[in-house]
Structure 1
Amino acid sequence: MSTNDDAGKLLLRLTIGILLLFHGLFKLTNGIAGIQGMVSAAGWPTFVAYGVFVGELIAPILLIIGLYTRPAALIAAVNMLVAIALAHSSQLFGFTNNGGWQLELQGLFLFGSLSIALLGAGRYSVGGRYN
């Protein structure tokens, strides 16, 4: 494996981790009442809404530093699947006025996280190349 591969993995981890972390920090400072409402409306127990902190705070931090990277990436991917199911399912097959997919951001987080889970952390990580 070349240094470029490891640099690419680092760039992908930082991109997904940092951008997802911003969403988690927003929820940490502004609350999750909206998510609790969606979870409740779906018939799920409201404590499930607190999982957003795992998926949008803890997992992104682990992605950024490269520790437990594969499990963290899978958690982030599951977080996006739940977000799509609860908040964005009506947009799944929709397009914007500019021709883009309405779920571009969620798709980036979902498929970027799955890519990280498949690729691992790379050499430039706390956990090491295969983490």
Structure 2
Amino acid sequence: MIAQLNRSFNRLADHQDAGILLLRLTIGILLLFHGVAKIEHGVGWIVQMLQAAGLPGFIAYGVYIGEVVAPILIILGVFTRVSGLIAALTLVVATLMVGIGNFFTLTKVGAWALEVEALYFFGGLIITLVGSGRYSVVSNPDYR
């Protein structure tokens, strides 16, 4: 009986391409909010942090690629694997810049202080590994 229920549920829930689309939309849209904030408020504070660390300030403008361009491409399913990797690497850089001190920190409710960054990082990495799926703006001739 349990096996039959499991098979029935699996038939109902077996929509891998819809799952990939949902993942792409979730990671892309939520990461894009961060990019929109950078568009509205600028990246001056990032420039200052980079310069304080002895790095050239113009590197800060790369955040627009990682938090605006890549998420839009992820949402659309265009250059999805590359965009997923760019998003993941953007989170590595962001974590190294502002969150590395929280690596071994838990919040008051017992959550890892970097769990949001980890979700974006692994979401981008998963998108890199699975690609756009069937539902994308550009058809993928290599899709199996």
Identify the TM-score tier after normalising by the shorter chain. over 0.9
TM-score, normalising length: structure 2: 0.86
How high is the sequence identity, in percent, across the aligned residues? 50
Q: How much does 1:128 deviate?
A: 3.2
Contact 1:42 1:86 survives alignment (8 Å): no
- Code of the residue aligned with 1:40 in structure 2: it is Q
State the partner residue of 1:79: 90
Q: RMSD between aligned alpha carbons?
A: 1.5
| Correspondent of 1:46 among 57, 82, 86 | 57
- Code of the residue aligned with 1:100 in structure 2: it is A
Q: Unaligned regions of 5+ residues in structure 2, if any?
A: 1-12
**4+ residue runs over 2 A deviation:** 127-131
- Code of the residue aligned with 1:43 in structure 2: it is G
Further displaced range: 47-56 or 37-46: 37-46
- Code of the residue aligned with 2:33 in structure 1: it is F
Q: State the structure with bigger RCO (CA 8 A, min sep 6), 1 or 2.
A: 1
1:52-72 CA-to-partner distances (Å, cap 9, x unmatched) read 000000000000000000000
* SS of match in other structure, 1:62: helix
- Code of the residue aligned with 1:21 in structure 2: it is L
State the partner residue of 1:21: 32
Q: Unaligned regions of 5+ residues in structure 1, if any?
A: none
TM-score, normalising length: structure 1: 0.94
CA distance in structure 1 between the aligned counterparts of 2:77 and 2:31, rounded to whole angstroms? 15
- Code of the residue aligned with 1:94 in structure 2: it is T
CA distance in structure 2 between the aligned counterparts of 1:81 and 1:92, rounded to whole angstroms? 12
* Number of aligned residue pairs: 130
CA distance in structure 2 between the aligned counterparts of 1:96 and 1:12, rounded to whole angstroms? 26
CA distance in structure 2 between the aligned counterparts of 1:110 and 1:124, rounded to whole angstroms? 22
State the partner residue of 2:46: 35
